[in-house]
Structure 1
Amino acid sequence: MTLVHRALFTWFIILVFCICLCLRLENRTQWNYFIVFIPLWIFDAILLIYVIIKIVTKWRFLERLKELIHFYQWNFAVVLLKIAAEICICLKIEYPHMNLSIYTVMIPIWILLPSTIIYVFINLVKNE
């Protein structure tokens, strides 16, 4: 899949999610927020499958699986933190009686954003 196709698919998923979210927020539907987030769950599943396929296709040419897993562990961590953030947000919105603090809900995002900045900075320094 080329870069253009991936970008268009990502925008399409975001569009579908925004439509579902708007329908839910305007009380036109009474869907559970876990159902509203289905486009993002599908996108996360596709991302995980894509990373696994990349590992398997490169593993055929390299004999060291540890190097590949070390190379792609960042991709797994990002997707898993994104899934954790989505689950926390859904729990906070759907079940207000659980009394989840907004600080607790934002922990995966607070881990993800600084680590992404560090990862990008390290790769920029390496490539120069």
Structure 2
Amino acid sequence: MKMSLAQRVLLSWIFALMFLIMLVLKLDSKIDWNWFLIFLPVWIFDTVLILMLVVKMAGRCKADFEPREGEQSLVRRLWYLMALLLKLAFCLFLCCRLERLTDMWVSVVCVPLWVLLGGALVELGHSVFHFRRD
């Protein structure tokens, strides 16, 4: 499943636009939908991304696969998978909190987001300073 850059950008914009329209309608009380339905474009988009990532990672298991970037590529893809799962956990906790299914504090709801942002800072710092040494 190979998508061009233009297709990926268009897909991202479509799902973001659908989510924002549904969010505005919910916040303006024009629709009385469940928060899980409002986040449906986010769930679908993240599922597509996870499937594409898993397919790329599974492609490394072929017998005739020759790694170009070594283990660095696999570690980076594992980080992407972890980041997507943390984002999904944050969205799930947020929906549960907004639907009042749980009585979690907002600070507890944001823990996956904070871990994701901290990991992104470490990844960014590692990539910037790793290339500077060369």
| TM surpasses 0.5 | yes
CA distance in 1, matches of 2:58, 2:99: 38
Q: Which runs of 4+ in 1 moved over 6 A?
A: none
- In the TM superposition, what is the alpha-carbon distance from 1:85 to its structure 2 partner? 0.3
CA distance in 1, matches of 2:122, 2:76: 16
CA distance in 2, matches of 1:93, 1:127: 43
Partner of 1:89: 94
Partner of 1:20: 22
Greater mean deviation of Cα atoms: 23-32 or 54-63: 54-63
CA distance in 1, matches of 2:93, 2:14: 24
**Given residue 126 of structure 1, which amino acid in structure 2 is its aligned partner?**
H
Residue 109 in 1 paired to residue 103 in 2?
Answer: no
The alignment partner of 2:31 has SS state of coil
Question: For residues 92-127 of structure 1, what are the alpha-carbon distances to aligned partners after superposition, in whole Å with 9 as ceiling and x for unaligned?
Answer: 11117x332110111011111011011011012223
Identity, in percent, stands at 29
- In the TM superposition, what is the alpha-carbon distance from 1:62 to its structure 2 partner? 4.4
User: As a proportion of its length, which structure holds more helix?
Assistant: 1
Pairwise CA RMSD:
1.8
- In the TM superposition, what is the alpha-carbon distance from 1:57 to its structure 2 partner? 2.4
Partner of 1:41: 43
Gaps of 5+ in 1: none
Query: Which one of 111, 128, 132 corresponds to residue 124 of structure 1?
Result: 128
Query: Which one of 10, 13, 16 corresponds to residue 11 of structure 1?
Result: 13
Q: What is the TM-score normalised by the length of structure 2?
A: 0.83
Question: For residues 52-75 of structure 1, what are the alpha-carbon distances to aligned partners after superposition, in whole Å with 9 as ceiling and x for unaligned?
Answer: 111122332049xxx575442101
CA distance in 1, matches of 2:131, 2:75: 19
Alignment length (residue pairs): 124
Gaps of 5+ in 2: none
Query: Which one of 75, 84, 104 corresponds to residue 80 of structure 2?
Result: 75
